[in-house]
Structure 1
Amino acid sequence: MEIEGLSHLGGKTEYKDDYAPEVLEAFNNKHPENDYWVTFNCPEFTSLCPITGQPDFATIHINYLPDEKMVESKSLKLYLFSFRNHGAFHEDCVNIIMKDLIKLMNPKYIEVIGIFTPRGGISIYPYCNYGRLGTQYEELAKHRLMNRNLQ
């Protein structure tokens, strides 16, 4: 992997106090002609309930098919950690994450799943996805959304 333009690798880690999309960094995909999955799992995601201020805990799964750009994993970690003091509902978190990654990378396809731990006896598992409009990936997004099956 080329590290030109990546500022987080090898440097002192600075954790942001609140939502910080500016920490996301991308690098060039060496295989943009191939369709392949990249999966990230963040089992220690936290955010705050925007009403009560109480913490919410989740595992965030990110799956995408890269095109020209890919997200650098340390910057993704710092970005996801920046939600720790951010007030947002579960559904909002996964959609914000997806939209920020689309803006950064313009992937062929992306999906974000939040597996939030129960609060008040209820678990919430929001799912969102996107496939590049006018391509086979748009059809993939429709298919995966309509055939989503969570236990």
Structure 2
Amino acid sequence: MSVFFDNRQQEKDIDSHFEKQLERVINIALELEGVIVPVEVSISFVSNEEIQELNREYRNKNTPTDVLSFPLVEREDLDNMVQAQEEILLGDIIISISKALEQAEEYGHSFSRELSYLTVHGIYHLLGYDHMTQEEKKAMREKEEAVMEALQINR
């Protein structure tokens, strides 16, 4: 698995410690989901202004959000690629560092925990999960919490 990081914000330094943590988050999520093909994921760290622009353009919502995900492969197709020799481009995760800092303070936990949670939330969107209904939200939340528990990243 490859994770490519793109830091396009100035508010918080995202060092190799954070990058390694997020790679672990993704690895655990993929492992728990039974994804055995090699994948490539891109994570971009952006400002509130940039994520608002993306949210407006792609979701028709003119407000900043914490995380956006752009899958490049359907989950069913991914599951059928068991013989893949090269990495499959799974998709892109865009995280607002401003929102992550704000939410960490609001929820009373560390920035590292919030960044990890937003990454696991994003990876589950890339894997085809959503939270449009209460049932979907519950299922996705249980999966997210399982990853956080496996990493011993608690609230």
Query: Could you state the TM-score of these two structures normalised by the residue count of structure 2?
Result: 0.31
* Structure with larger RCO (C-alpha < 8 A, sep 6+): 2
- Normalized per residue, the structure richer in helix is 2
